[in-house]
Structure 1
Amino acid sequence: MNRYSAKITQPKSQAASQAMLHATGLTTPQMGLAQVGISSVWYEGNPCNMHLNDLALEVKKGVQDAGLIGYRFNTIGVSDGISMGTPGMAYSLQSREIIADSIETVMGAQWYDANIGL
């Protein structure tokens, strides 16, 4: 179940990685659990997104209740509704690629086993 995160949580050669995870509150027994990235496009500047940080916290609780480790992280967001009819609208489509790339970057760099995207 922790096929990816085991690459940093199990080998003795990854002691520095494990120390960093311990500093986040992870215990030694939890090192064997799967880690789930909870990605969110939360930001306060948009009524569609402003509640997502609270929702991500609820998702994290559900992940923990399932016996897994959840780590929340954010990416950028752009509101089509706010930028509608302005040059800012030109950023809408490219923001989707940036969002996908940033989530992929965190997931790969942190060796999370799964992702729940909000």
Structure 2
Amino acid sequence: MPKEHQEGVVLGGPQISTSVTTTVINMPGEISSPDHVVWSLFNVLFMNFCCLGFIAYAYSVKSRDRKIVGDVTGAQAYASTAKCLNICARVFSLLGIIAIIITCAISQHSHRGY
């Protein structure tokens, strides 16, 4: 046997079979309930009828805090309240805008002398 081949066999050493132990850790997934913070912030800035947008924003922040703590039930309750307040703020603001448009149209129509 050539010298190079003998060194390769010696350097390779014996093959040892080892068993590999794996550990699986199941971690809970993200809480998928939305907290409606962006929607509430939009309502605060643009459609804040009787401060409903601001109150919805407060509930949204409380929902996000509950989510961070891990209180799923509390987060969902606050998010549900924020959603209802956001819907009310949006509807009342749109009704107010429509009422203003109708009032302006009627006043323009009455000033023309018809």
Using the size of structure 2 for normalisation, the TM-score is 0.32
- Structure with higher RCO (Cα < 8 A, 6+ apart): 1
Pick the structure with greater CA Rg.
Answer: 2
Question: Going by fraction, where is helix more abundant, 1 or 2?
Answer: 2
Question: Going by fraction, where is strand more abundant, 1 or 2?
Answer: 1
Using the size of structure 1 for normalisation, the TM-score is 0.31
